[in-house]
Amino acid sequence: MSTAFSWTARLTDADGNLAVGATLDVQLFDLKAGAWASVSSAKTDATGVAKGAGAVADDTLPFAPAFRLVEGAAVMSASPEFTRNARTGALTIDFGQVRRLAVAETVIARTLSARTLRTATPIGGVVATDAPIAPIAAAPTIDAASIRAQAVDDTTKTFTARLAKSDQDLASRDTQIAAQTRQLAERDAQIAAAKTKNDQDLAARDAQIATLRAEKVEVAAVRAQAADETAKVNARLAQRDQELATRDAQLVERGRVVADQEKEISGLRATLVAKDLEIEEIKTRPTLGTTTGTTTGTVGGTTGAINPAVATLRTVAVTDLATDMATQLDTAQKTLKPTGFSLGTIQISAKGVLRDTGSMEFPDTETLKALPQDSLSDLKFQFIPEKVPASDDGPRVPDVLQLTESAVRRVLTSVGLVLEASTGPRGLNPAVAPGQAMVQSPGAGTIIARGARVMVIFADEQGA
């Protein structure tokens, strides 16, 4: 291991001018070798500053009495300022500004003990300054023997302290080793117990495996019997699926027949409604010779005063209304196709008097004002016009009236069409049961593109 250091110094000549290009060495005194050794070297720049770096062994640093700055054979400074980085341990050595001595000048060297080097605060200083030094008659004598004795004493104390610290560390390590030895013994005992337990568990598992092998023959027999039963059940399911397909076909045919009958019934109902309206109109006509006044009549099951001059009702079957609107939208879609446009989703809301016959009466504006609001019903239609088929080779729309939603979905899927389901009041078609189809668009027999949507209104299961 070693300790890194960096150093700086500014050099001037004897007259105080900057010394440029001078080579400066930093030396460290090694007590083991008993001599100064160069550890870093650098040249001064244009400002007279030299910067260098190096590293010294950790076992050498505590014994070094000092660093010194040397130019050639001349010692420039022997008392730099030290700073140690608390985090990295690196040393920063600043020799300050030093000046080459004149012929008559002498500098007194000063050494530093290892104890001083280990302090955290900066120590030392610049020996040579820019101020001239008065010449002296003779340099003082340096007692090298006392300095060496002091260094040896410091070294001995340091070794003694380090030896005591090493003894303490060894005792602590011996204690830790004893504790770890006890832990290893305990672990060995635990491993032995676990091994015994594992052997017992393996023996029990072997016994279980033997039992399972003995039962394997019985399991094979049970599986064979189960396979036979599964084959029988699959045969029954296939037969049931075939029966369901036959019944679905019968339901489709029956729905077609019922639809034809329903159309005939709807025509008869429309005729009856027209007759009823005619009778109501005759009943509400004013007496001959009367030009003004009001007549009391019944509209939608509610009695009130109705102006006979404007009591006009238009009646239409809901199924015919939906079919007519769908047909007109299809016609509009075909008309828009050559122009590059097409219709999107269309919602239509109709308000009128809903009859039990499945028809809707639409009064004019004046009559609508005279009717109570609770006698009117809202009927909403949603149409999603499909793209116009490129040819007439698409599927024909089957008749799905009076079928449940699941049956309608199967029938439409079988011919390549998609169901667009919605619900409405059962009064649209009283002949159907809750959950059955009341209205479809496009109508049965219409040729549309494969994959197109068929709008079907199912009777609401919550009420009429």
Lowest mean pLDDT among 114-118, 288-292, 378-382: 288-292
**Whole-angstrom distance, CA of residue 96 vs CA of residue 42:** 15
Domain 2-142 bears CATH identifier 3.40.50.300? no
What's the chain's average pLDDT? 77
126-135, 137-146, 200-209, 211-220 — which one is most confidently predicted on average?
200-209
For residue range 304-353, what is the model confidence (pLDDT) as tens digits?
333 443 344 578 887 777 788 888 887 887 777 666 567 778 888 877 78
Of all residues in the chain, the percent with pLDDT exceeding 90 is 25
Q: Which long-range contacts (CB under 8 A, 24 or more apart) does 276-284 make?
A: 277/313, 277/315, 281/311, 284/308, 284/311
Residue 266 vs residue 203, higher pLDDT? 203
Sign of CA dihedral 165, 168, 173, 174: positive
Q: Which residue has the higher pLDDT, 208 or 139?
A: 208
- Residue with tokens 């014994």, as numbered in its chain: 63
Comparing 226-230, 286-290, 319-323, the range with the smallest average pLDDT is 286-290
The reported pLDDT for the residue numbered 117 is 42
For residue 399, what pLDDT is reported? 93
Per-residue DSSP letters for 41-109? EEE--TTSEEEEEEEEETTTGGG---EEEEETTEEEES--EEEE-TTT--EEEEEEEEE---TT-----
The confidence score (pLDDT) of residue 142 equals: 55
Residue pLDDT, tens place only, 91-127: 899 999 998 876 545 444 444 444 444 443 343 344 4
Q: State residue 102's pLDDT score.
A: 62
Q: What is the mean pLDDT of residues 65-73?
A: 83
Reported pTM: 0.27
Helix (H) or strand (E) segment spanning residue 346: strand 346-354
pLDDT of 410-441, one tens digit each?
999 999 999 999 988 887 788 888 999 999 99
Work out the pLDDT band at 79, boundaries 50, 70, 90.
confident
Residues 459, 435 contacting (CB under 8 angstroms): yes
Pairwise pLDDT comparison (126 vs 77), residue with the higher score: 77
Please give the pLDDT value at position 103.
53
* Angle, vertex CA 458, rays to CA 315 and CA 264, nearest 5: 45
How far, in Å, are 355, 378, 379, 442 from residue 359 at the CA level?
A: 6, 13, 11, 19
Tokens of 443: 């109508």
What value does the mean pLDDT take over residues 363-377? Answer: 75
Total Cβ atoms within 10 A of residue 443: 18
What is the pLDDT, as a whole number, of residue 270? 67
**How high is the pLDDT of residue 416?**
92
Residue 284 pLDDT = 61
- In angstroms, the CA 42 to CA 38 distance is 11
Please give the pLDDT value at position 203: 93
Mean pLDDT of 278-305: 45
Average pLDDT over every residue of 134-158: 65
Let me know: does 331 contact 325? Beta carbons within 8 Å: no
